[in-house]
Amino acid sequence: MTGLGAVFRPQLPPERLRDVARLADQNGLEELWLWEDCFREGGISTAAAALAWTERLRVGVGLLPVPLRNVAITAMEAAALHRMFPGRAVVAVGHGVQDWMGQVGARVESPVTLLREHLVALRALLGGERVTTEGRYVRLDDVALDWPPAGLVPVLAGATGPRSLRLAGEAADGTILTASTTADGVRQARQLIDQGRESAGRTDPHHVVVYLLTATGPDAAARLRSELLDEGLESVPDLGVAGDAGAVAKAVQRLADAGADRVILQPTGDEPDPEGFVRFAAEEVRPLVP
């Protein structure tokens, strides 16, 4: 079955999260994803709150920018979420937006090298290992978590370019693709991820999560078009979807047929009814997605 979720966009003030998360939980939506966008809301703090306010909802953080975070802190926070809310937290890491990283003095010369080192160390720490490493960016001296997760937990990587996608296949347990990814883009990403998996000799499951820019309601087409225009993506064919539940479900299925395991509906930044969007995803779209 294709997994389905929705995004709580950080353009909304954090005090709106409680109602949205509880509504998603009550209506049976599988996943709610949060973003650590500069300079809006922290990913771990909002995830912890959303998990505490709900009973069964999986909460994803997609993604934590590794230039901002020491890997030991990332591991400590991720481990705490997994121990307090077993099976419900999903943590992803990635390069972050390079302009934002520059604003805070965290931009690095080789983002791919940093992400590789961070992924390797993070997965080892969360696996209960004691880690000593002297990398270009990640340096740990005899570090181990006092409270590692009770079992194996997946670490996802956000990736767009070929090198990052191959790295995700090699060193992560899953990949997040942005809403600028078409069905053809999902197919190409899968091929690159599989190349990385083959080079690393990995045969374990690797889930691909993709965001789908979605608008519904009477002004859906106009809002979708405006967002694509703002992002410089208006010329990309078959990107995003505007319409009723049937139209959205067909767009979800196209991505699933291309290789996506989970599709996360991403509302436009000016979505007028975030609670209604979550209800729409859970009550109207979910029954139409196999």
Q: Which helix (H) or strand (E) holds 162?
A: helix 162-171
In this prediction, residue 1 carries a pLDDT of 86
Please give the C-alpha separations between residue 38 and each of 43, 101, 151, 222, 226, in angstroms, as whole numbers: 10, 9, 32, 27, 22
Secondary structure class of 104 (helix, strand, coil):
coil
10-residue mean pLDDT profile of the chain (290 residues): values are 96 97 98 97 98 98 97 98 98 97 97 98 98 98 97 95 98 98 98 98 97 97 97 94 98 98 97 97 97
Domains in the chain: ranges and CATH: 3-288 (3.20.20.30)
Name the region of 64 (left: φ>0; alpha: ψ -120 to 50; beta: rest): beta
pTM for this entry? 0.97
Nearest-CA neighbor of 116 among 85, 146, 95, 87? 95
Tokens coding 266 = 């991403």
pLDDT at position 186, please? Answer: 98
Q: Inter-axis angle of helices 43-53 and 71-84, to 10 degrees?
A: 0
Is residue 119 within 8 Å of residue 167, measured between CB atoms? yes
pLDDT of residue 164: 98
3-state DSSP call for residue 206? coil
Contact 195, 201 (CB under 8 A): no
Examine residue 288 and say whether the peptide bond preceding it is cis (omega within 30 degrees of 0).
Answer: no
Query: What pLDDT, on a 0 to 100 scale, did the predictor assign at position 128?
Result: 97
pLDDT for res 152: 87
State both tokens at 263: 């599709």
Q: List beta partners, residue 133.
A: 140
Q: Which residues pair with 242 in a beta bridge?
A: 215
